[in-house]
A and B are shown apart, each in its own frame.
Chain A
Amino acid sequence: MKLGVLYSGGKDSTLALMKAQKYHDVVCLITVVSENKESFMFHTPNIDITLLQSQSMGIPLVRVVSKGEKEIELGDLKKAIQEAVQRFKIEGVVSGALRSTYQASRVQRICHELDLWCFNPLWLLDQVELLYELLEKEIHAVISGVFAEPLDESFLGKEIDKEMIVKLSKQQNPAGEGGEIETTVLDALIFKKRIMITDSKIDYARFAGTFTILDAKLEDK
């Protein structure tokens, strides 16, 4: 089956993509770039890095910019999926939804309206198990946002390795399912080249901060 993956460039959508690839043909990535930092559905730091990720994986990217207004942004997602259907003949959509019924049900509704299969291979997966699966699949993700106490500036830009998993495991939502952390993937088994960050900045104040990639390039592995 030809599938499109809703891709934010973070650990969950990358892991979902790799699971989907085991059984199906992932023909495109679908990214909604939200201009609204408060968007419930789409806001992710470093969303522009999906351009390099797409290039590295050799999977084309369908990219749509949304103003990120609540519920209206769902129309933008639908348009992006429709574009993927038209350009790449996808028969289904994969998301990295883990537990958010808000996000999952909205994607399910759009797929139902468009008569597409909808797959959520991480659904209800244990969050610590998910973090260890990243290591297993050689997904190198850095923390690109912290949004809850006690996660502070020291977490920003750090890779999720064994030591970090031990730290995150102490949190209520170790994989950040409650929005506590956001991540950006720099390398994975499916990446033909790794992403090298050449310029970045950290903004942080009172347990909320972001690690923004200002410039990056692909380099041989």
Chain B
Amino acid sequence: MILIVNVCRDKLSEMEFVRPLAMLIEDHVIVHYSKVKLADRTAAEKIIIAGTALKDFDYLDGKFSWLKKTRRPVLGICAGAQVIAKEFGLKLEDFALIGPQKVEVVKENRLAEGVFNAYFLNTKIVAGCEPLAMSNGKPCLFRIAEKEIYGCLFNPEVLNESVILNFIQ
């Protein structure tokens, strides 16, 4: 089972950012970040932290300290990637990427390869991380050292479903 962590403040955003992931992942449970319990995390094989609307930043005040303790692989998408960055002491910088952009994989990894177009809805990038892929000269896919924890600043459910499928396999 995959735990999908919903970080949306608004129900309409859930339809846009959480439902598409749920449609891709047959065996899943959705829990809002404010209600994620140890039992939810341990019952899951893997965890995906979903994205949210551009104007929504409530999640940055959420409690995600469990990320440092979990042994489950985690994929953070957009807002989810920002949460991971924050929790592991990486810096968030303002930089808007909106719409389809070219992405180039710069380090071999199990989520993506080559050069492809990806859909971005992001106003913050992560500095100080070791990038797995770059877009517009900025890291857009990264991994926390020695952990199976990935941050993806584009929304792979739109144009790159394989990133999600590779993660959950």
Contact = CB atoms under 8 A, between A and B. Distances in A.
A112 B96 contact: yes
A23 B10 contact: yes
Contact of B100 (A94, A101, A115): A101
A124 interface: yes
B101 to A, nearest CB: 10
Given A119-B13, A123-B15, A124-B23, A109 B98 contact: yes
A116 interface: yes
A123 B98 CA distance: 16
Contacts of B96: 112
A49 interface: no
A108 interface: yes
Nearest to A1: B10
Given A101-B158, A111-B54, A119 B10 contact: yes
Interface residues of A, number: 27
B157 interface: yes
A124 B157 contact: yes
A127 to B, nearest CB: 12
Interface in A84-131: 92, 94, 101, 105-106, 108-109, 111-112, 115-126
A206 interface: no
B158 A119 contact: no
B10 A105 contact: no
B16 interface: yes
B44 to A, nearest CB: 23
A192 interface: no
B12 interface: yes
B12 A121 contact: yes
A20 B12 contact: yes
Interface centre among B10, B12, B20, B100 (most CB of A within 10 A): B12
Contacts of B159: 101
Contacts of B56: 117
A108 B16 contact: no
A22 B15 CA distance: 13
Contacts of A117: 10, 53, 55-56
B11 interface: yes
A118 B158 contact: no
A19 interface: yes
Interface in B1-49: 10-13, 15-16, 19-20, 23
Contact of A126 (B13, B23, B98, B99): B23
Contacts of A24: 12
Contacts of B54: 108, 111-112, 118
Contacts of B10: 1, 23, 117, 119
B122 to A, nearest CB: 10
16 contacts: A19-B12, A19-B15, A20-B12, A22-B11, A101-B99, A105-B100, A108-B98, A111-B55, A112-B54, A112-B55, A117-B53, A121-B15, A123-B15, A123-B16, A124-B16, A125-B19
Given A19-B15, A108-B121, A109-B98, 6 more contacts: A105-B100, A118-B53, A118-B55, A119-B13, A123-B15, A124-B157
